[in-house]
Structure 1
Amino acid sequence: MYLPAAFRQDDLTELHRQITNSRLATLVSHGPGGLQASHLPLLLVADEGKYGTLYGHFAKANPHWCDLATGSEALVIFNGPDAYISPSWYPSKAEHGKAVPTWNYIAVHAQGQPEVFDDPERLRRLLGRLSDHHEAGRPHPWTIDDAPRDYLDHRLRAIVGFALPIQRLEGNWKLSQNRPDVDRRGVWKELGASSDEHARELVRHMAIDH
């Protein structure tokens, strides 16, 4: 990932928070068939390994997991909020006109070598933890024990799990840090007034002295 120093995020707590808040990740790897990408909900276990460990699963019919089983390294992309930034939001534009459009965003890249598994009990625990994570906060959360045992056993045979110990973790918090303070305030104001929830979410990450 292209990572200018001004945008680099090294705070592990912030990186983990963004991973946890990202609802769907993109896992990319390269194997005998070339590049493959899958879109997956993942679970982060923050205290496993230096940077944490990611857990997820594939449909067994998805050939992507076969590349991972042969030892292919994987890149996992977690996209955070993003928004278009208009030059008209920069007060400095009125002075010299030297401004062009850009895009602000938050993104996290995690790399590692996954371990693939199909043990039914391990898969059951993984699905239980994933569903508990995504059902949290619902009035009547679904749990894995709600499904009949024989039905669940059948479904478990149709998936393959994986664990990916994170060996490299990078974060890009592109929030106009390379602009003068007056321009950053202009961006902060316009994003905060936007009807786009992603734009408003970016505001919460901008370090602006109110």
Structure 2
Amino acid sequence: MYGPSCFDEIRPALLHGLIDEHPLGAVITHGDAGLDANHIPFLIDAADADAVAGAVADAPFGILRAHVARANPLWRHEGETLVVFQGPSAYITPALYEDKKISGKVVPTYNYAVVHAHGPLRAIEDPAWILALLARLTARHEGTQGTPWTMDDAPPGFIERLVEMIVGIEIPVTRMHGKWKVSQNRSQNDHRTVMAAMDAPMAQAMRRRAQI
């Protein structure tokens, strides 16, 4: 991913935080049919030693976990996988810059935050592992609902039958690169002005990068 060094981001707190808040990842693979992309919600965990079928030895940036339909050929993919997570983005008008009035030498741009995660994809067909993942995903996304849905709300045996139709996937992340283009290359006054004009997600992304 191209970018001036001032936009580079490698701090795990920011990278994992963006994935947690924007969990829908674009999973990009290359196989016999060429490039392909799937869009899947993930959980990101710190590297651990109790993954199914043995410890994940090489996951310095954590482990991405999700599930796909058994009919989806993605889970059979072998080789390098790239997952792209898109955070907040916003158009930046030149009218927000001091130099607009002084020299006029300003142009429009876009602010955004993204994370690219690389690693090998492995399939997990253990029903207990998949059920545990479904429980975690449900708790994560239903937690903000007024009346959270739980798997116990489904009829007996319904979830178990669905588990037979899906496959877990796990990606130990060997490389992770973030790009936070959030006006940090502008003056402090421009940065404050832009942040004040942004909606909450982009303003928060700008503030977090400055604070961490």
Q: TM-score, normalised by structure 2?
A: 0.86
Pick aligned residue for 2:75 from 61, 65, 79 = 65
Pick aligned residue for 1:54 from 64, 89, 92 = 64
Write the mapping of 1:11-22 to structure 2, written as runs, cut at 5 A.
11-22=11-22
Residue 87, structure 1, aligned to residue 90, structure 2: no
Cα displacement (A) at 1:151: 1.6
Cα displacement (A) at 1:44: 1.1
Pick aligned residue for 1:174 from 172, 178, 181 = 181
Cα displacement (A) at 1:4: 1.7
Cα displacement (A) at 1:182: 2.9
Cα displacement (A) at 1:167: 0.3
**Which residue does 1:124 correspond to in 2?**
131
**Which residue does 1:32 correspond to in 2?**
32
Cα displacement (A) at 1:198: 3.9
**Which residue does 2:169 correspond to in 1?**
162
SS at match of 2:208: coil
Write the mapping of 1:198-209 to structure 2, written as runs, cut at 5 A.
198-205=201-208, 207=210
Cα displacement (A) at 1:149: 4.1
Q: Deviations over 1:86-115 (max 9, x none)?
A: 111101121111111100011111110011
**Which residue does 2:141 correspond to in 1?**
134
Cα displacement (A) at 1:84: 0.2
Q: Deviations over 1:17-57 (max 9, x none)?
A: 11111131111111111111111111111243421101011
Relative distance call for 1:28 and 1:158 in structure 2 (3 A) is same
Q: How many residue pairs are counted as aligned between the two chains?
A: 201
RMSD: 1.9
Structure 2 distance, partners of 1:113, 1:203, is 31
Structure 2 distance, partners of 1:27, 1:72, is 13
Cα displacement (A) at 1:3: 2.9
Residue 184, structure 1, aligned to residue 183, structure 2: no
Q: TM-score, normalised by structure 1?
A: 0.87
SS at match of 2:157: helix
Q: Would the aligned equivalents of 2:121 and 2:170 in 1 still touch at CA under 8 Å?
A: yes
Q: Would the aligned equivalents of 1:46 and 1:53 in 2 still touch at CA under 8 Å?
A: yes
Unaligned 5+ segments in structure 1 are none
Unaligned 5+ segments in structure 2 are 49-58
Structure 1 distance, partners of 2:45, 2:178, is 18
Structure 1 distance, partners of 2:131, 2:209, is 40
Percent sequence identity over matched residues?
Answer: 40
SS at match of 2:101: helix
Structure 2 distance, partners of 1:51, 1:202, is 20
Cα displacement (A) at 1:197: 4.4
